Amino acid sequence: MELKEMQKKVYENKLKHGFNTTNVEREFCFLEGELSEAFEAYIKKHDNLGEELADTAIYLLGLSEMLGIDLQEEVEKKMKINENREYVMVNGVLVKKGSKDDV
């Protein structure tokens, strides 16, 4: 299934169950909460890490649909950019070459 199709299914499910489809700021907060839950599952080595990551993806797909963004197209464009980007090690961290952090 393509991401665009997933976006639509996630949005339709939100409508079906009466979840938020209009308050973008709230949806960003929900997304942040789901990511925090995934991090907690990782740190505590819970068995539900995959489920929490899925929740994060579902919120991101729903938010993308709410904003009219084709997430698959954006991810594919960004992957091409990243493939051709040069990185340098600065203080043990990789940063984009030429960025303000590149010393």
Half-sphere exposure of 50 (CA within 13 A, CB side): 1
For the whole model, what pTM was predicted?
Answer: 0.86
pLDDT score of 99 more than 90: no
103, part of any domain: no
DSSP assigned state of 22 = S
The DSSP line for 38-75 is: HHHHHHTT-TTHHHHHHHHHHHHHHHHHHHT--HHHHH
Per-residue pLDDT tens for 22-53?
A: 999 999 999 999 999 999 999 999 999 999 99
Residue 50: which domain range?
A: 3-96
Q: How do residues 64-90 score in pLDDT, each as one tens digit?
A: 999 999 999 999 999 999 999 999 999
Q: How far apart are CA 5 and CA 71, in angstroms?
A: 10
Over 90: is that where the pLDDT of 62 sits?
yes
Domain CATH for 63: 1.10.287.1080
In angstroms, rounded to a whole number, what is the distance separating the alpha carbons of residues 41 and 35? 10
